[in-house]
Amino acid sequence: MDIDFSSFVLAAATADLSDEPHARDHADAVEFRLDMASDPLDALAAYDGDLPLIATNRPTWEGGEAADGEDRLDALRTAAAHDAVAAIDVELAALEDGDATDVVDYARDRGTAVVVSTHDFAETPHRDTMRELLAEASRWGDVAKLAVTAEGAGDVLDLLGATWDATTAGETVATMAMGEAGRHSRAVAPLYGSRIGYAPVDPADATAPGQYDLATLSGLVDRLRSERPKAGESEA
């Protein structure tokens, strides 16, 4: 299975692949959180759903539940070999340290896309810093993902500005501001070029602060995109 990141992709975020049938009406893909799942590789091997998967095995040092080490990266490598896995998510810090480069090389050899991500659970960095993070992640991956924590509207504006700058520079990015102050960014960021949105099927199963449920985010994005031109398009 493939995912076309040239247009917006709405991913149902879950640790339970049995959610996939309930996601089909609204989602384009499923983000499978291996780090939060029970027996994730067995679940992946048994998967026969319709939606392509983005496999994520987030370490504790970046907000996930996976212990860092070779086992975490080996699981991502195994996931990358599954026909239903269209992309894997790898942390920028793990690539800069050199730990995850072999996994990315393996994924590329398999034709599996790579999302390179950074999460800041404390703040929203300066706009220039966010721009640099997106540029660096773009050099490693097919999609550069940046999730920050907003304390107010100004933080969201900075994130949207960095998103627009990266998009108009030809980079494929996915951005969002976590927390209540940044919640609306999940609906608005696609207008500025963000290519992936994440939402749980059930709001009780949110995998990040401030997520809308899948049906709500799908409706918001569809409505906003129908009313506004996409990033890079003329309003004329």
31 in a labelled binding site:
yes
Choice among 82, 145, 184, 230 that is catalytic: 145
207 in a labelled binding site:
yes
78 in a labelled binding site:
no
Residue 119 among the catalytic residues? yes
Continuous segment of H or E residues that includes residue 222 = helix 214-227
Choice among 26, 119, 126, 184 that is catalytic: 119
Strand stretches in the chain, DSSP E:
9-14, 29-33, 53-56, 85-91, 113-119, 143-149, 173-178, 196-199
58 in a labelled binding site:
yes
108 in a labelled binding site:
no
Maximum separation of any 2 CA atoms in the chain, in Å: 53
8 in a labelled binding site:
no
Position 234, amino acid:
S
- Separation of alpha carbons 199 and 223, rounded Å: 17
Kindly report the CA angle at 42 between 38 and 47, in degrees rounded to 5? 105
Residue 230 among the catalytic residues? no
5 in a labelled binding site:
no
> Could you tell me if 59 and 36 are in contact, meaning their C-beta atoms sit under 8 angstroms apart?
no
Catalytic residues: 119, 145
Q: Annotated binding site, which residues?
A: 31-33, 58, 186, 207, 211
Q: Annotated binding site for 3-dehydroquinate, which residues?
A: 31-33, 58, 186, 207, 211
